[in-house]
């Protein structure tokens, strides 16, 4: 995998962990973790969809009460504060549910003092990656490498200002959407995330016993 090739200097290092942004970043991150012989866990991030226009987001939340609100969208659509608060409440419940099954039930390794390779399937607006970085910083990560196959140039400018290192394979001049760069862009179900995480965990255990 080309992305793993750009990260090969981290291969097999005991203080490095690959973290996928769940759910859609997990298949890409699993390939990176397996190729580099590194453990894999996830960071859950939830978009705050505009009521009635779910494909339009008015913000993003992550672990440890990380919130990134798109105030321009909220103001332009005259979304009341109570609606924003209700959506934050609902998405927080879903975030906690996914964290329980993806992270806590699998006794994921702590990130404090570690180098984290944070992987997603791509970056459009960049809010998911920015929220994930804030959450991982709060968990005590020492060094954060944001790694994606493709990203919008303007979002990379923001990302490079807060990540310690950024690795991106393709920075197209015209960026329409992430799914434009994939032959198969079906949503990744929770059961698929669990299956992938368990598969990488088994691979790491086999390497430790070899």
Q: Which domain holds residue 130?
A: 2-45+99-209
CATH number of the structural domain spanning residue 126: 3.40.50.2020
> In this structure, is residue 131 part of a structural domain?
yes
> In this structure, is residue 76 part of a structural domain?
no
Take residue 25 and report the two structure tokens written for it: 């970043």
- When divided into structural domains, the chain yields a total of 1
pTM, full prediction: 0.91
> In this structure, is residue 56 part of a structural domain?
no
> In this structure, is residue 103 part of a structural domain?
yes
Q: What is the pLDDT of residues 14-36, one digit of tens each?
A: 999 999 999 999 999 999 999 99
> In this structure, is residue 123 part of a structural domain?
yes
Name the percent of the chain lying above pLDDT 90: 73
**Nearest-angstrom CA–CA distance, 45 and 76:** 24
Residues 6+ apart with CB under 8 A from 187: 23, 24
**Polymer length of the chain:** 210
> In this structure, is residue 74 part of a structural domain?
no
Nearest residue to 25 via CA among 54, 62, 59: 62
Q: What is the pLDDT of residues 73-129, one digit of tens each?
A: 999 999 999 999 999 999 999 999 999 999 999 888 899 999 999 999 888 888 999
> In this structure, is residue 63 part of a structural domain?
no
CB 117 within 8 A of CB 145: yes
CA 181 to chain centre: 18
Phi/psi-derived region of residue 154, left when phi > 0, alpha when psi is between -120 and 50, beta in every other case:
alpha
CB 40 within 8 A of CB 29: yes
């Amino acid at each position: 995998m080309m992305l793993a090739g750009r990260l090969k200097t981290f291969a097999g290092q005991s203080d490095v962990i690959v973290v996928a942004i769940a759910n859609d970043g997990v298949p890409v991150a699993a390939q990176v973790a397996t190729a580099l012989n590194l453990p894999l866990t996830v960071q859950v991030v939830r978009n705050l969809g505009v009521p009635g226009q779910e494909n339009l987001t008015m913000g993003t939340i992550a672990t440890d009460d990380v919130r990134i609100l798109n105030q321009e969208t909220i103001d332009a659509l005259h979304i009341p504060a109570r609606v924003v608060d209700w959506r934050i409440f609902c998405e927080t419940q879903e975030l906690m549910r996914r964290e329980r099954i993806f992270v806590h039930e699998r006794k994921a390794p702590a990130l404090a003092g570690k180098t984290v390779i944070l992987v997603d399937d791509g970056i459009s607006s960049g809010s998911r990656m920015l929220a994930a970085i804030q959450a991982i910083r709060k968990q005590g990560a020492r060094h954060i490498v944001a790694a994606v196959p493709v990203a919008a140039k303007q979002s990379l400018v923001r990302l490079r200002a807060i990540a310690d290192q950024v690795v991106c394979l393709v920075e197209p001049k015209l960026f329409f959407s992430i799914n434009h760069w994939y032959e198969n862009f079906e949503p990744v179900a929770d059961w698929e995330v669990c299956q992938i995480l368990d598969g990488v965990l088994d691979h790491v255990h086999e390497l430790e016993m070899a």
